[in-house]
Structure 1
């Protein structure tokens, strides 16, 4: 069996929200490609210690604040790696290529323009996705929907999932168009929870599938937009999402919920175990609040998805 090389890596953010990238030397594995800085974790070395050491050696910076972002196991034809990725949003020093490697601050929106090793694909997704995903609840009319959207963003929601199953298709299309405009103006990530047909008709950038729609999906190419995600509740559904190349998922229920009181929650231990088996960002869903975000990060989550935490 090929030895798994444990690597600590960092998505480093500056005050402007830009991400620091480094270019791999041409004579190394995956040489010439861009990467998120980091290096090997030594045997019995804590990951955060390894990351601090590597960023000092490579960039001349000292970490002030970091939190887990994503773990990515990846198998190349000639080697296997486990990328243990942290988000670093506070540091001391001015980063530079201390080993002679080119480094560059990049706008998040430009990350797709850079060539990365294949193992970095989920990291790019995790770097682009929000931590706080608000799911819309019910509202009496479009004005109330938009008011609740505004209030949720003010309370800290960084992304929105428009879910309104009670609406007719025509009403949903009208409301979704209004949400698209409002979220675009505010720079907020928006995904639609709808059928593929409705999302394609709207030329939506992001679509979230129910677990039933995920299981019926044959190819991610059926959706014409950039981001495709799904609701998952089991290892089998997670495996299906990963096999089809989805960009991220929600996994639920982590804790007990008022909306599904008869559904037993999986708890954080099971959540963490299931997340460790996939290589895509996973949101914790079910009983989540702003206060549970640190616990979700520690369990390997991209962040939390919730209705009551921000809606209404």
Structure 2
């Protein structure tokens, strides 16, 4: 099982940073909370600090465990560990994503999410169990 950390980054205005996976990546075109794979011996907090700098050119500080979700994608199983994080600075530049947004809590349900992220969106109160992973019209 691959361990992956995800950051739920809320800015001062209460918007959450989300990113869309670019073409050629697994889960391409789906939205996710940014993050990445943990390296051996690395903590989720350290992973998020490293990954967000590498992939988005921003500095963050993970401060609170939000939740853990295990998801079976068939060929690979992941354990997604989500942390609340503070945006500390940096101008966003994308490497593994083709788009990003600062979305309000109410807007989160309007996006087509990577399946492993859906439970966290639901925990944020924006998707019903019946609408998981579905784009709203």
TM range (shorter): 0.7 to 0.9
Uncovered stretches (5+) of structure 2, i.e. residues with no partner: 131-137
TM-score computed with the length of structure 1 as normaliser = 0.39
User: C-alpha root-mean-square deviation of aligned residues, in Å?
Assistant: 2.1
Q: Which has the larger radius of gyration?
A: 1
Quickly say closer, same or farther: Cα 1:32–1:52, change in 2 above 3 A: same
Runs of at least 4 residues of structure 1 off by over 4 A? none
- Say whether 1:70 aligns with 2:67: yes
Query: Equivalent residues in 2 for 1:108-127 (5 A)?
Result: 108-127=105-124
Q: Which has the higher helix share?
A: 1
Aligned residues of 1:64 and 1:92 also touching (Cα < 8 A): no
Aligned length: 130
Quickly say closer, same or farther: Cα 1:26–1:90, change in 2 above 3 A: closer
Uncovered stretches (5+) of structure 1, i.e. residues with no partner: 130-225, 228-244, 247-312
Counterpart-to-counterpart distance in 2, 1:30 and 1:116: 9
Q: Which has the higher strand share?
A: 2
TM-score computed with the length of structure 2 as normaliser = 0.84
Per chain length, whose mean CA-contact separation is higher, i.e. which structure has more relative contact order (CA < 8 Å, sep 6+)? 2
Query: Equivalent residues in 2 for 1:129-148 (5 A)?
Result: none
Quickly say closer, same or farther: Cα 1:100–1:85, change in 2 above 3 A: closer
Shift of 1:65: 5.1
Deviations 1:134-189 (A, max 9, x none): xxxxxxxxxxxxxxxxxxxxxxxxxxxxxxxxxxxxxxxxxxxxxxxxxxxxxxxx
Shift of 1:14: 0.8
